[in-house]
Structure 1
Amino acid sequence: MQTNKIYRSRNDRVLAGVLGGISEHFGWNSQLVRLLYIAISIFSVAFPGILVYIIALFIIPEAPYRNQD
């Protein structure tokens, strides 16, 4: 049984690839995920959004390199 793990993106990143990895995992548009994150952060007075991003940065591993032979 294959597990579908979430990784931080190596290609679609602005800061650390957390939101790019989430968008790749669910197959969503990365710009939409970023806009949703910004909106949620603004409406929650920014601190919880920033804290969640930093925690995700340390919890979610970076995507492994893929051999392109």
Structure 2
Amino acid sequence: MQKRLYRSENNRIVGGVLGGIGEYFNIDPTVIRIGFLILALVTAVFPCLIGYFLAYFIIPEQKV
């Protein structure tokens, strides 16, 4: 069975993108969120928001 990347249904705060990435790589989603926050602060927030929203529309939602 092939592992697929989905937006998380369980680890969702905004859109489930970062929770889904955490589940895919078997990393605590909180660590992914903190890394995303640090990256957003370093890059003046805008590029990370664009990336997040693109990922939101590209990555399919997890079907329960």
Assess same fold via TM > 0.5.
yes
What are the within-5 Å matches in structure 2 for residues 46-57 of structure 1? Answer: 46-57=45-56
Equivalent residue for 1:61?
A: 60
Larger Rg: 1
Shift of 1:4: 1.4
Amino acid at match of 2:23: E
Distance of 1:46 and 1:62 partners within structure 2: 24
Equivalent residue for 1:44?
A: 43
Correspondence 1:25 to 2:19:
no
- Give identity over the alignment, percent: 36
Distance of 1:8 and 1:20 partners within structure 2: 7
Give the ranges of 4+ consecutive aligned residues of structure 1 lying more than 3 Å apart after TM superposition: none
Equivalent residue for 2:8?
A: 9
Amino acid at match of 1:22: I
Distance of 1:31 and 1:5 partners within structure 2: 20
1:28-52 CA-partner distances (Å, limit 9, x unpaired): 0111100000000110000000000
TM-score by length of structure 2 reads 0.96
1:14-69 CA-partner distances (Å, limit 9, x unpaired): 0010000000000001111000000001100000000000000000000011xxxx
